[in-house]
Homo-oligomer: A and B are copies of this chain.
Amino acid sequence: MRNIRLTIAYDGTAYHGFQRQPEFHGPTIQGMLEKVWKALVGEEIHMYTAGRTDTGVHAAGQVSNFLSEVRIPEGKIPKAFNSLLPRDIRILAAKDVEEDFNARRSAQWKRYDYRIDNHPIPDVFQRLYALHEPVLLDVPAMQVASRFLEGRQNFQALAAAGGSSKTFERTLYVCQVEPEGGLLRLTCMGNGFLYHMVRIIAGTLLEVGKGKIRAEAIPDILQSQQRKRAGETAPAHGLTLTYVHYGEELPWDIYPRFIDRVNHLET
């Protein structure tokens, strides 16, 4: 039995999230991938996935794995998948991995980006990939607030009810707001994320940007562990799962402050 790891990008606009659901709910990324593999080689598979993104959420570097008995070489798998997948889903890489690799349980940390289009009139080319916020945001205040979210803390105040987690302690290595090509980008890198956590962080930082929550109130909000003290859940379409990290050598260059953070927080 092989264990095959896939790296996947998708535009989530047309999908009812990653996780397979009864067909009448609408198409899902997992459903598409499993259906295409069946059509290609006749094998029924079940996928394990790092971040089971919600309806409308995108991915630039999602990771899944599945067990297979098919002998197709790993290098030919992306092309085979992509020949049948719709154009809004692409397999970027496929690799044979150890039998005990599980895309969800083996993940060490993940990176999510939340994009905000903060102009009076929305950019039509970003409308599906960034939240439009016409009110001019106080970006420095959002940046101060985001720093309070970094570190190992209890994130219950920033988690939606209905998640499967029993504990609320997580580590955010990086939580930062930066300009990116005319947009604002919130980047969250952490060892685990609670249900809707990044979207609630985005919604809370938006309130800070509008002056409705003070940046200095963030530690209080965290400590209260009360969801109602934080901002609303920001819409799904601004969110992208960018990267999932496993045990390989760390790509330090993807984020300058990251190495300091990991050393500081984990040792």
How many residues of A sit at the interface, in one of the four size bands? 20 to 34
Contact status A127-B78, CB under 8 Å: no
Contact status A121-B11, CB under 8 Å: no
Residue of B nearest to A122 (CB): B90
Q: Inside 8 A of A125's CB, which chain B residues have their CB?
A: 9, 11, 58, 60, 129
- In the assembled complex, 14 residue pairs joining A and B whose CB atoms fall closer than 8 Å, in A order, are A9-B123, A9-B124, A9-B125, A10-B124, A58-B125, A60-B125, A78-B121, A87-B124, A87-B127, A88-B124, A89-B124, A90-B124, A91-B121, A92-B121
Residues of A within 8 A of B (CB): 9-11, 58, 60, 78, 82, 87-92, 121-125, 127, 129, 181
Contact status B78-A124, CB under 8 Å: no
Contact status B129-A11, CB under 8 Å: no
Q: Inside 8 A of A122's CB, which chain B residues have their CB?
A: 87, 90
Contact status B127-A88, CB under 8 Å: yes
Q: Inside 8 A of A58's CB, which chain B residues have their CB?
A: 125
Q: Nearest-CB distance from A130 to chain B (Å)?
A: 11
Q: Inside 8 A of A82's CB, which chain B residues have their CB?
A: 121
